[in-house]
Amino acid sequence: MYQIFISLLTFSFRTLYLFSRSKKELMLENILLRQQLAAYQAKKERPKNITDITRSYLIALMDNWPDWKRPLVIVQPATVISWQKKRFKNHWSKISNRNKKPGRKPKSKEIKELILRMARENINWGAPRIYSELLMLGYSEKDISERTISRYLKKFRPEDPEKIKKKQQQWQTFIQNHRKHIMGMDFFTVPTVGLKVLHVFFIIDHSRRRLVHFNTTSIPTEKWVIQQLKNAFPFATAPKYLFFDRGSVFSSKVKKSIKDMGTKPVQIGYRSPWQNGVAERFVLSVRNDLLDHVIIFNEEHLRSLMKQYVEYYNNDRCHLSVGRDSPKGRKVLNKDSESGKIIAFPKLGGLHHKYEWKKAA
Protein backbone atom coordinates (compact mmCIF):
# COMPACT_ATOMS: atom_id res chain seq x y z
CA MET A 1 0.00 0.00 0.00
CA TYR A 2 2.89 2.31 0.92
CA GLN A 3 4.59 1.73 -2.47
CA ILE A 4 1.34 2.40 -4.39
CA PHE A 5 0.83 5.66 -2.52
CA ILE A 6 4.37 6.83 -3.37
CA SER A 7 3.82 5.93 -7.03
CA LEU A 8 0.58 7.94 -7.14
CA LEU A 9 2.32 10.93 -5.55
CA THR A 10 5.16 10.73 -8.04
CA PHE A 11 2.71 10.64 -10.95
CA SER A 12 0.82 13.61 -9.52
CA PHE A 13 3.97 15.72 -9.16
CA ARG A 14 5.05 14.92 -12.71
CA THR A 15 1.60 15.91 -13.98
CA LEU A 16 1.97 19.25 -12.22
CA TYR A 17 5.21 19.71 -14.14
CA LEU A 18 3.41 19.45 -17.48
CA PHE A 19 0.70 22.04 -16.68
CA SER A 20 2.74 24.61 -14.76
CA ARG A 21 6.41 24.43 -15.71
CA SER A 22 7.09 28.08 -14.92
CA LYS A 23 5.75 27.80 -11.36
CA LYS A 24 6.81 24.24 -10.58
CA GLU A 25 9.56 25.20 -8.12
CA LEU A 26 7.21 27.41 -6.08
CA MET A 27 4.42 24.82 -6.13
CA LEU A 28 6.65 21.98 -4.98
CA GLU A 29 8.18 24.10 -2.25
CA ASN A 30 4.72 25.06 -1.01
CA ILE A 31 3.63 21.42 -0.98
CA LEU A 32 6.68 20.39 1.03
CA LEU A 33 6.39 23.27 3.52
CA ARG A 34 2.64 22.69 3.98
CA GLN A 35 3.22 19.00 4.63
CA GLN A 36 5.81 19.78 7.30
CA LEU A 37 3.57 22.48 8.82
CA ALA A 38 0.73 19.95 9.07
CA ALA A 39 3.05 17.62 10.97
CA TYR A 40 3.96 20.44 13.36
CA GLN A 41 0.31 21.38 13.97
CA ALA A 42 -0.65 17.78 14.64
CA LYS A 43 1.94 17.40 17.41
CA LYS A 44 2.24 21.08 18.56
CA GLU A 45 5.99 20.45 18.75
CA ARG A 46 8.83 19.00 16.72
CA PRO A 47 7.40 15.58 15.78
CA LYS A 48 9.34 12.60 17.04
CA ASN A 49 7.56 10.05 14.85
CA ILE A 50 6.99 11.07 11.23
CA THR A 51 3.90 9.46 9.69
CA ASP A 52 4.06 7.28 6.59
CA ILE A 53 2.07 9.90 4.64
CA THR A 54 4.69 12.58 5.36
CA ARG A 55 7.47 10.19 4.42
CA SER A 56 5.68 9.38 1.17
CA TYR A 57 5.50 13.06 0.24
CA LEU A 58 9.20 13.57 0.94
CA ILE A 59 10.33 10.49 -1.00
CA ALA A 60 8.13 11.33 -4.00
CA LEU A 61 9.35 14.94 -4.06
CA MET A 62 12.95 13.77 -3.90
CA ASP A 63 12.64 12.13 -7.31
CA ASN A 64 10.88 15.08 -8.96
CA TRP A 65 12.55 18.16 -7.51
CA PRO A 66 16.36 18.67 -7.61
CA ASP A 67 16.20 21.38 -4.90
CA TRP A 68 14.19 19.27 -2.46
CA LYS A 69 16.74 19.57 0.37
CA ARG A 70 16.56 23.37 0.81
CA PRO A 71 13.11 23.79 2.44
CA LEU A 72 13.41 20.75 4.75
CA VAL A 73 12.76 21.74 8.38
CA ILE A 74 11.65 18.79 10.47
CA VAL A 75 14.12 16.20 9.15
CA GLN A 76 17.58 16.08 7.65
CA PRO A 77 18.11 14.93 4.02
CA ALA A 78 20.09 11.93 5.28
CA THR A 79 17.01 10.87 7.30
CA VAL A 80 14.91 10.63 4.15
CA ILE A 81 17.56 8.33 2.65
CA SER A 82 17.66 6.20 5.83
CA TRP A 83 13.87 5.63 5.69
CA GLN A 84 14.26 3.79 2.38
CA LYS A 85 17.06 1.59 3.77
CA LYS A 86 15.00 0.66 6.84
CA ARG A 87 11.94 -0.11 4.70
CA PHE A 88 13.99 -2.40 2.47
CA LYS A 89 15.56 -4.18 5.47
CA ASN A 90 12.21 -4.70 7.22
CA HIS A 91 10.56 -5.89 4.00
CA TRP A 92 13.08 -8.67 3.41
CA SER A 93 13.20 -9.58 7.10
CA LYS A 94 9.48 -10.28 6.99
CA ILE A 95 9.86 -12.38 3.83
CA SER A 96 12.73 -14.42 5.25
CA ASN A 97 10.87 -15.09 8.51
CA ARG A 98 7.60 -16.04 6.78
CA ASN A 99 6.76 -19.74 7.20
CA LYS A 100 10.14 -20.24 8.76
CA LYS A 101 10.44 -23.61 10.41
CA PRO A 102 12.74 -24.11 13.38
CA GLY A 103 15.98 -25.87 12.50
CA ARG A 104 18.07 -28.24 14.57
CA LYS A 105 18.60 -27.51 18.22
CA PRO A 106 21.96 -25.86 18.92
CA LYS A 107 24.60 -28.09 20.41
CA SER A 108 25.22 -27.83 24.11
CA LYS A 109 28.05 -25.68 25.42
CA GLU A 110 29.57 -28.79 27.00
CA ILE A 111 30.03 -30.53 23.62
CA LYS A 112 31.44 -27.40 21.96
CA GLU A 113 33.99 -26.93 24.73
CA LEU A 114 34.95 -30.60 24.56
CA ILE A 115 35.53 -30.42 20.78
CA LEU A 116 37.64 -27.29 21.27
CA ARG A 117 39.67 -28.96 24.01
CA MET A 118 40.39 -32.03 21.90
CA ALA A 119 41.37 -29.86 18.92
CA ARG A 120 43.83 -27.88 21.07
CA GLU A 121 45.36 -30.84 22.86
CA ASN A 122 45.69 -32.98 19.70
CA ILE A 123 47.04 -30.91 16.81
CA ASN A 124 46.81 -33.68 14.21
CA TRP A 125 43.30 -34.82 15.11
CA GLY A 126 40.61 -34.17 12.55
CA ALA A 127 36.84 -34.57 12.71
CA PRO A 128 36.84 -38.41 12.38
CA ARG A 129 39.23 -38.89 15.36
CA ILE A 130 37.36 -36.45 17.58
CA TYR A 131 34.02 -38.00 16.60
CA SER A 132 35.32 -41.44 17.48
CA GLU A 133 36.46 -40.23 20.91
CA LEU A 134 33.07 -38.66 21.57
CA LEU A 135 31.36 -41.95 20.72
CA MET A 136 33.68 -43.70 23.19
CA LEU A 137 32.61 -41.18 25.83
CA GLY A 138 28.98 -42.18 25.45
CA TYR A 139 27.74 -39.47 23.08
CA SER A 140 25.39 -40.77 20.37
CA GLU A 141 24.76 -39.77 16.75
CA LYS A 142 21.77 -37.79 17.96
CA ASP A 143 24.02 -35.64 20.15
CA ILE A 144 26.67 -34.80 17.55
CA SER A 145 27.68 -35.75 14.00
CA GLU A 146 31.06 -35.88 12.29
CA ARG A 147 30.00 -33.17 9.82
CA THR A 148 29.07 -30.82 12.68
CA ILE A 149 32.46 -31.39 14.28
CA SER A 150 34.11 -30.56 10.95
CA ARG A 151 32.29 -27.22 10.84
CA TYR A 152 33.32 -26.41 14.40
CA LEU A 153 36.94 -27.23 13.63
CA LYS A 154 36.99 -24.63 10.84
CA LYS A 155 36.11 -22.02 13.47
CA PHE A 156 38.31 -23.38 16.25
CA ARG A 157 41.39 -24.25 14.21
CA PRO A 158 41.68 -22.22 10.99
CA GLU A 159 44.42 -22.77 8.45
CA ASP A 160 47.97 -22.01 9.46
CA PRO A 161 48.49 -18.20 9.19
CA GLU A 162 51.88 -18.74 7.56
CA LYS A 163 50.30 -20.79 4.77
CA ILE A 164 47.61 -18.15 4.23
CA LYS A 165 50.25 -15.41 4.05
CA LYS A 166 52.27 -17.44 1.55
CA LYS A 167 49.22 -17.96 -0.71
CA GLN A 168 48.45 -14.23 -0.62
CA GLN A 169 52.03 -13.38 -1.55
CA GLN A 170 51.93 -15.80 -4.49
CA TRP A 171 48.63 -14.34 -5.73
CA GLN A 172 49.84 -10.74 -5.34
CA THR A 173 53.03 -11.59 -7.26
CA PHE A 174 50.95 -13.03 -10.09
CA ILE A 175 48.77 -9.90 -10.21
CA GLN A 176 51.79 -7.58 -10.20
CA ASN A 177 53.39 -9.45 -13.10
CA HIS A 178 50.23 -9.52 -15.24
CA ARG A 179 48.32 -6.42 -14.09
CA LYS A 180 48.20 -4.90 -17.60
CA HIS A 181 46.42 -8.00 -18.92
CA ILE A 182 43.89 -8.53 -16.09
CA MET A 183 40.27 -7.43 -15.81
CA GLY A 184 37.66 -8.34 -13.22
CA MET A 185 33.89 -8.69 -13.43
CA ASP A 186 31.28 -8.84 -10.71
CA PHE A 187 27.69 -8.05 -9.67
CA PHE A 188 26.30 -5.90 -6.88
CA THR A 189 22.70 -5.36 -5.84
CA VAL A 190 20.69 -2.15 -5.42
CA PRO A 191 17.28 -1.96 -3.70
CA THR A 192 14.50 0.22 -5.15
CA VAL A 193 11.79 2.29 -3.50
CA GLY A 194 9.35 -0.52 -4.39
CA LEU A 195 11.51 -2.98 -2.38
CA LYS A 196 12.69 -4.79 -5.49
CA VAL A 197 16.31 -5.79 -6.09
CA LEU A 198 18.23 -4.71 -9.18
CA HIS A 199 21.61 -6.14 -10.21
CA VAL A 200 24.49 -4.12 -11.67
CA PHE A 201 27.05 -6.03 -13.74
CA PHE A 202 30.42 -4.41 -14.44
CA ILE A 203 33.87 -5.14 -15.84
CA ILE A 204 36.89 -3.19 -14.57
CA ASP A 205 40.51 -2.97 -15.72
CA HIS A 206 43.04 -3.84 -12.98
CA SER A 207 45.88 -1.72 -14.37
CA ARG A 208 44.20 1.71 -14.45
CA ARG A 209 41.01 1.03 -12.46
CA ARG A 210 39.08 1.97 -15.61
CA LEU A 211 35.48 0.79 -15.82
CA VAL A 212 35.19 -0.98 -19.17
CA HIS A 213 31.51 -1.95 -19.22
CA PHE A 214 28.37 -1.96 -17.08
CA ASN A 215 24.68 -2.79 -17.37
CA THR A 216 21.69 -3.36 -15.10
CA THR A 217 19.08 -6.11 -14.90
CA SER A 218 16.41 -7.42 -12.57
CA ILE A 219 17.11 -11.09 -13.35
CA PRO A 220 20.74 -11.97 -14.14
CA THR A 221 21.14 -15.14 -16.20
CA GLU A 222 24.09 -16.87 -17.86
CA LYS A 223 22.81 -15.90 -21.35
CA TRP A 224 22.58 -12.28 -20.27
CA VAL A 225 26.15 -12.34 -18.90
CA ILE A 226 27.47 -13.92 -22.12
CA GLN A 227 25.82 -11.15 -24.15
CA GLN A 228 27.39 -8.50 -21.88
CA LEU A 229 30.83 -10.03 -22.48
CA LYS A 230 30.26 -9.87 -26.23
CA ASN A 231 29.22 -6.23 -25.95
CA ALA A 232 32.21 -5.35 -23.79
CA PHE A 233 34.88 -7.03 -25.95
CA PRO A 234 34.12 -6.77 -29.67
CA PHE A 235 36.71 -7.43 -32.39
CA ALA A 236 39.25 -9.40 -30.31
CA THR A 237 39.66 -6.76 -27.58
CA ALA A 238 39.30 -9.18 -24.66
CA PRO A 239 42.04 -9.24 -21.97
CA LYS A 240 44.38 -12.14 -21.31
CA TYR A 241 42.83 -12.92 -17.89
CA LEU A 242 39.32 -12.28 -16.55
CA PHE A 243 38.71 -12.64 -12.78
CA PHE A 244 35.31 -13.41 -11.24
CA ASP A 245 33.88 -14.93 -8.06
CA ARG A 246 32.12 -18.24 -7.47
CA GLY A 247 28.59 -16.97 -8.10
CA SER A 248 26.21 -19.45 -9.72
CA VAL A 249 25.55 -17.12 -12.67
CA PHE A 250 29.19 -17.56 -13.76
CA SER A 251 28.46 -21.09 -14.98
CA SER A 252 30.39 -23.46 -17.21
CA LYS A 253 28.73 -21.90 -20.28
CA VAL A 254 30.01 -18.47 -19.25
CA LYS A 255 33.51 -19.88 -18.75
CA LYS A 256 33.39 -21.52 -22.19
CA SER A 257 32.30 -18.22 -23.74
CA ILE A 258 35.27 -16.50 -22.08
CA LYS A 259 37.65 -19.12 -23.46
CA ASP A 260 36.17 -18.69 -26.95
CA MET A 261 37.21 -15.02 -26.80
CA GLY A 262 40.82 -16.06 -26.24
CA THR A 263 40.72 -15.14 -22.55
CA LYS A 264 41.66 -17.34 -19.60
CA PRO A 265 38.84 -17.40 -16.99
CA VAL A 266 40.18 -17.16 -13.41
CA GLN A 267 37.69 -18.05 -10.68
CA ILE A 268 38.84 -16.75 -7.32
CA GLY A 269 39.09 -18.95 -4.23
CA TYR A 270 36.30 -19.71 -1.78
CA ARG A 271 35.70 -16.76 0.57
CA SER A 272 38.62 -14.86 -0.96
CA PRO A 273 37.19 -11.58 -2.29
CA TRP A 274 40.64 -9.97 -1.94
CA GLN A 275 41.73 -11.96 -4.99
CA ASN A 276 39.49 -9.70 -7.08
CA GLY A 277 40.06 -6.69 -4.84
CA VAL A 278 39.87 -4.07 -7.62
CA ALA A 279 36.26 -5.06 -8.40
CA GLU A 280 35.35 -5.19 -4.70
CA ARG A 281 36.85 -1.73 -4.17
CA PHE A 282 34.78 -0.32 -7.03
CA VAL A 283 31.58 -1.56 -5.37
CA LEU A 284 32.58 0.23 -2.16
CA SER A 285 33.35 3.42 -4.11
CA VAL A 286 30.06 3.53 -6.01
CA ARG A 287 28.11 2.97 -2.80
CA ASN A 288 30.00 5.63 -0.82
CA ASP A 289 30.03 8.14 -3.68
CA LEU A 290 26.49 7.71 -5.02
CA LEU A 291 24.11 4.93 -4.01
CA ASP A 292 24.14 5.64 -0.25
CA HIS A 293 22.87 9.17 -0.97
CA VAL A 294 19.96 8.49 -3.34
CA ILE A 295 16.77 6.43 -3.51
CA ILE A 296 16.42 4.33 -6.66
CA PHE A 297 12.94 4.25 -8.23
CA ASN A 298 13.38 1.79 -11.09
CA GLU A 299 15.90 0.21 -13.44
CA GLU A 300 15.87 3.17 -15.83
CA HIS A 301 16.66 5.53 -12.96
CA LEU A 302 19.54 3.30 -11.78
CA ARG A 303 20.99 2.97 -15.30
CA SER A 304 20.91 6.75 -15.76
CA LEU A 305 22.70 7.40 -12.46
CA MET A 306 25.28 4.69 -13.14
CA LYS A 307 26.01 6.17 -16.57
CA GLN A 308 26.74 9.53 -14.94
CA TYR A 309 28.87 7.90 -12.26
CA VAL A 310 30.95 5.88 -14.72
CA GLU A 311 31.72 9.04 -16.69
CA TYR A 312 32.76 10.82 -13.48
CA TYR A 313 34.70 7.79 -12.21
CA ASN A 314 36.73 7.26 -15.39
CA ASN A 315 37.39 10.89 -16.32
CA ASP A 316 37.43 12.99 -13.14
CA ARG A 317 37.75 10.93 -9.95
CA CYS A 318 41.32 10.75 -8.62
CA HIS A 319 42.67 7.37 -7.47
CA LEU A 320 45.59 6.79 -5.14
CA SER A 321 46.41 3.51 -6.89
CA VAL A 322 47.08 5.26 -10.22
CA GLY A 323 49.25 8.05 -8.87
CA ARG A 324 46.34 10.31 -7.78
CA ASP A 325 45.19 10.54 -11.39
CA SER A 326 41.90 9.49 -13.00
CA PRO A 327 41.68 6.15 -14.83
CA LYS A 328 41.64 7.85 -18.25
CA GLY A 329 44.05 10.57 -17.15
CA ARG A 330 43.47 14.24 -16.32
CA LYS A 331 45.50 17.17 -17.55
CA VAL A 332 47.28 19.12 -14.83
CA LEU A 333 46.17 22.75 -15.04
CA ASN A 334 48.58 25.49 -13.93
CA LYS A 335 47.58 28.90 -12.67
CA ASP A 336 47.86 31.39 -15.53
CA SER A 337 47.92 34.60 -13.48
CA GLU A 338 47.53 35.94 -9.95
CA SER A 339 43.97 37.01 -10.70
CA GLY A 340 42.90 33.58 -11.89
CA LYS A 341 40.00 31.91 -10.07
CA ILE A 342 39.14 28.33 -9.29
CA ILE A 343 35.67 27.32 -10.41
CA ALA A 344 33.75 24.19 -9.41
CA PHE A 345 31.84 21.97 -11.84
CA PRO A 346 29.14 19.91 -10.07
CA LYS A 347 29.04 16.18 -10.77
CA LEU A 348 26.30 13.67 -9.96
CA GLY A 349 23.80 16.38 -9.09
CA GLY A 350 26.23 18.21 -6.79
CA LEU A 351 27.35 15.21 -4.74
CA HIS A 352 30.88 15.73 -6.10
CA HIS A 353 32.73 18.49 -7.94
CA LYS A 354 35.56 18.95 -10.41
CA TYR A 355 37.77 22.03 -10.04
CA GLU A 356 39.56 24.03 -12.74
CA TRP A 357 41.32 27.35 -13.10
CA LYS A 358 39.43 30.14 -14.82
CA LYS A 359 41.32 32.90 -16.56
CA ALA A 360 40.70 36.41 -15.33
CA ALA A 361 38.51 38.56 -17.55
pLDDT tens, 297-333? 999 999 999 999 999 999 999 988 888 899 999 988 8
Task: Please say whether the beta carbons of 359 and 339 come within 8 A.
Answer: no
Q: What is the pLDDT of residues 92-147, one digit of tens each?
A: 888 877 666 555 566 677 888 888 888 888 877 888 888 888 888 888 777 888 88
What is the signed CA dihedral for 81, 85, 86, 87, rounded to 10 degrees? 100
Higher pLDDT, 79 or 320: 320
What pTM, to 2 d.p., does this model score?
0.69
Helices 52-64 and 2-19, axial angle in degrees (round to 10) = 40
| Least-confidence region, from 120-124, 168-172, 179-183, 258-262 | 168-172
Distance (Å, whole) CA 172 – CA 170: 6
Q: Which of 5-19, 68-82, 136-150, 196-210 has the lowest mean pLDDT?
A: 5-19
Provide the percentage of residues in the chain whose pLDDT is more than 70: 71
